[in-house]
């Protein structure tokens, strides 16, 4: 796999080898915001009892002026622009040196009682808070942008003495390689990239500028990751896809679908004849994984390498924890998936799609741009029309559930 030009250019001064919420969605909301189901659209506060977002954690102690925060968020300071805050906190836990946020008038009481020194607010809610304010059109988006100012700083560049770096790997002098990490032959680690402790990066991988790979992630050979990505601990990228060919007579093809992509994993259908002596021949997975820019991949998420062609993740895709992306899948730019989503082999997902937690997509299907699949949704056919799709019944008393299912069997549901 050829290294992208931007990665190679960033290594011009260091070509010589040397020694990435969104919370789990229970629904997909129409306002473009991932939700855990705790807050209503347009009514979100940094208060633990809303379920929308909790404490952002203690920040660095370096004070940040409201003027700087307004610059980053596109807001307007109502108060002292030189006032400084040292932490981003929930309304409940905020102190006099903390910044918090709230959107929605029904939390007016919390605005009057919080100890926060400054808030991100809509102009129509400004009267509820007597201290310093930054007035913004969307406080939740402003909170997201402001949070970057409070993130821990990147570690200093350099290669830890316990790291193992192949002689022909190219690690930029401005990159960081943590303790006990392994960098394979021919790998490229670009400027500003951070490789945490105990990370494995295989041969011929490319890690783009300012991409962060957290401790314990595994990147198999031949994977290309773009700029500004974040790969969480335990993620596995580029492992062999699940591809097998059935060997025997009278074979049911439920687990091995013949297709031109060489993948071998089907959609669970197939014939009814089963040979109990059937064996399975492994299909070597010869493709790679290509990940675009500004992609976030959560903890213990797996993205399999392609069988013949590459598995492709578009720019700015956001994947939560414990997601399975099978071989040959293609995911379009700006798509977001909550925890435990599973996408079977060779599925093609459009741009700007949203998937709630535990949604699943069968193999070899196509999903149009801007489709929203709600939590637990089971996609068994291709989706060509934009819209919201659901298939999971929410929890209810068992007697009522049985009546509903009985009605569905009788064809009483529309």
What angle is formed at CA 353 by the lines to CA 347 and CA 359, rounded to 5 degrees?
Answer: 65
- Given a contact cutoff of 8 angstroms between Cβ atoms, the answer to whether 402 and 388 are in contact is no
pTM of this structure: 0.81
- Is the pLDDT confidence value at 7 over 50? no
What domains does the chain contain, in order, with CATH numbers? 34-150 (3.40.1390.10)
pLDDT tens for each residue of 12-34: 333 333 333 333 343 443 334 45
Interval 280-288 mean pLDDT:
95
| pLDDT value of residue 37 | 37
pLDDT digits (tens, 9 = 90+) for 92-147: 899 999 999 987 656 667 888 899 999 999 998 888 899 999 999 999 999 999 99
Distances (CA, A) of 198 to 164, 177, 234, 356, 367: 10, 10, 10, 31, 37
Q: Which of 322, 327, 364, 374 is catalytic?
A: 327
pLDDT for 61 equals: 59
Which letter does DSSP use for residue 159 in this model?
A: E
Q: In the predicted model, what is the mean pLDDT of the chain?
A: 84
Between 232 and 55, the more confident residue is: 232
What is the rounded distance in angstroms from the CA atom of residue 350 to the CA atom of residue 353?
Answer: 6
Cβ atoms < 10 Å from Cβ of 73: 23
Would you say residue 151 has pLDDT above 70? yes
Q: What are the tens digits of pLDDT across the range 153-190?
A: 889 999 999 999 999 999 999 999 999 999 999 999 99
The predicted model gives 336-365 an average pLDDT of: 98
Q: Is 327 a catalytic residue?
A: yes
CB 189 within 8 A of CB 208: no
Q: Is the pLDDT of residue 272 over 70?
A: no
Lowest model confidence (mean pLDDT) among 219-233, 264-278, 335-349: 264-278
% of the chain residues with pLDDT over 90: 66
What is the DSSP code string of 57-122? ----SS-EEHHHHHHHHT-EEES-TT-EE-EE--TTT--TTEEEEB--GGGHHHHHH---SEEEE-
pLDDT given at position 189: 98
Structure tokens at 343: 């996408």
pLDDT band, very low/low/confident/very high, at 252 (cuts 50, 70, 90): low
């Amino acid at each position: 796999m050829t290294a992208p030009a931007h990665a190679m250019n960033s290594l011009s001064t260091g070509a010589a080898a040397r020694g990435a919420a969104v919370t789990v969605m229970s629904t997909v909301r129409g306002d473009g915001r991932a939700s855990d189901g705790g807050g209503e659209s347009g009514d979100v506060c940094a208060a633990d009892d809303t379920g929308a977002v909790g404490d952002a954690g203690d920040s660095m102690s370096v004070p940040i002026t409201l003027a700087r925060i307004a610059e980053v968020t596109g807001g307007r300071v109502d108060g002292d622009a030189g006032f400084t805050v040292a932490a981003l906190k929930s309304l409940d836990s905020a102190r006099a040196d903390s910044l918090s946020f709230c959107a929605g008038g029904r939390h007016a009481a919390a605005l009057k009682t919080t100890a926060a020194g400054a808030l991100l607010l809509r102009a129509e809610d400004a009267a509820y808070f007597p201290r310093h304010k930054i007035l913004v059109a969307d406080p939740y988006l402003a909170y997201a942008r402001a949070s970057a100012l409070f993130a821990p700083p990147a570690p200093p560049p350099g290669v830890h003495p316990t790291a193992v770096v192949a002689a022909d790997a190219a690690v930029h002098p401005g990159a960081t390689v943590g303790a006990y990490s392994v960098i394979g032959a021919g790998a490229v680690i670009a400027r500003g990239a951070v490789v945490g402790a105990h990370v494995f990066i295989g041969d011929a991988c490319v890690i783009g500028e300012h991409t962060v790979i957290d401790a314990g992630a595994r990147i198999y050979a031949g994977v290309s990751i773009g700029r500004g990505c974040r790969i969480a601990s335990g993620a596995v990228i580029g492992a062999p896809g699940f591809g097998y060919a059935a060997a025997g007579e009278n074979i049911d093809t439920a687990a091995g679908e013949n297709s031109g992509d060489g993948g071998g994993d089907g959609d669970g259908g197939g014939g009814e004849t089963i040979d109990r002596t059937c064996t399975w021949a492994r299909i070597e997975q010869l493709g790679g994984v290509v990940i675009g820019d500004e992609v976030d991949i959560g903890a213990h998420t797996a993205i399999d390498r392609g069988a013949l062609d590459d598995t492709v993740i578009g720019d700015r895709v956001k994947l939560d924890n414990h997601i399975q992306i099978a071989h040959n899948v293609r995911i379009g730019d700006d798509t977001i998936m909550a925890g435990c989503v599973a996408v079977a082999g060779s599925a093609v997902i459009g741009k700007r799609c949203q998937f709630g937690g535990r949604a699943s997509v069968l193999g070899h299907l196509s999903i149009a741009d801007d489709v929203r699949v709600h939590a637990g949704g089971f996609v068994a056919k291709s989706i060509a029309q934009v819209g919201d799709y659901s298939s999971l019944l929410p929890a209810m008393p068992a007697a009522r559930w049985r009546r509903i299912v009985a009605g569905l069997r009788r064809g009483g549901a529309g």
